[in-house]
Amino acid sequence: MNLHLIHDVPDGLTRRARSFVGTHGVKVDVRPVEGHRQWWLERDIPAAVIDRMVAFQERWGGLLLPPAPRYDGGPKYLDPDSPEGSDSEGWWFEAGMQRTAVPYSFMIGPSGEFGIHTDRWTPLHVTVEGWVESLALAHHASMWARQVTKLVGDDVDGIDLDGYEPVREVMGLADTWWRGTDSLVAVYSGEAESLSFPRGRVALIYSGLDEWGLRGGVESGDS
C-alpha cells in the first residue's frame, strides 16, 4: 500500500476538520471506479449511480484517517464500491472497506448520507463530511478533556442534555454530538438501531473542557 501526504484537503469542512485531515490523514492509491463503468452498466446499475461513485472517489477516494471511537474504527479508508439498490428504493454504494470483521458495511445512502447497512439501512450522518467532522471532534475532545466517561445501553437515557446545543457540523442522524458549558457529549446509536441491539448504544462524555476544548477554534457557523 502506497501512502501519500495530503496536499488538497476537501473543502466544505470546518477549520478543525481541515486541520485534522491535513495533519493526521494520508492518501492511499486506489483504482479508478470509472474503469468498472461498462461492467456495472451491463448489470443494470444506472449511470447516475456510477457518476455518484466517481464523484465520491474524486473527492474522498483513498483518504485514510485515524480510527473512530466506535464501529471498530470505521472504514479503513474511503473508496466507493459495490453499488446496490433499486430505482424504487434508491441506490447505495460502499464507502470503504471495514478495518475489522464487523457485521455491517459502511455505505453512502441514496441522498448522500454516511451510514451502516446490515439487513436495514441506518444513516449516521447527513453527509460523509459529517462523519469526518465527528472523527475530528472526537480526536480533539479526547486530547483536551480532563475526564472521559463512557455510558452504555439504558444508562445513556440518563444523560441530562438540558442546556446543551447540538454540534451542527457533524450533521448527526443516528449519531449526534452535543455541546454544553464545559463538556461535549457524543451519542452513538447506529449499531443499536441497525442490529436491534440496545446495549450497542454508547455515549462518551468529554468533561472539563475550556472554550478551546469545546470548539477547537471553530466558531458558530464556521464551515
CA atoms of 215 and 223, how far apart (whole Å): 13
Q: Count the Cβ atoms, other than its own, within 10 Å of residue 35.
A: 8
The strands making up 165-166's β-sheet, listed across from edge to edge, are: 147-152, 202-207, 183-188, 175-179, 165-166
Task: Give the pLDDT of the chain (223 residues) as one tens digit per residue.
Answer: 677 778 789 999 999 999 999 999 999 999 999 999 999 999 999 999 999 999 999 999 999 999 999 999 999 999 999 999 999 999 999 999 999 999 999 999 999 999 999 989 999 999 999 999 999 999 999 999 999 999 999 999 999 999 999 999 999 999 999 999 999 999 999 999 999 999 999 999 999 999 999 998 786 555 4
Place of cell 484517517: 65
Pairing between strand 81-86 and 183-188? unpaired
Question: Side-chain half-sphere of 96: how many Cα atoms within 13 Å?
Answer: 25
Residue ranges per domain, the chain? 3-128, 132-215
pTM: 0.95
DSSP 145: -
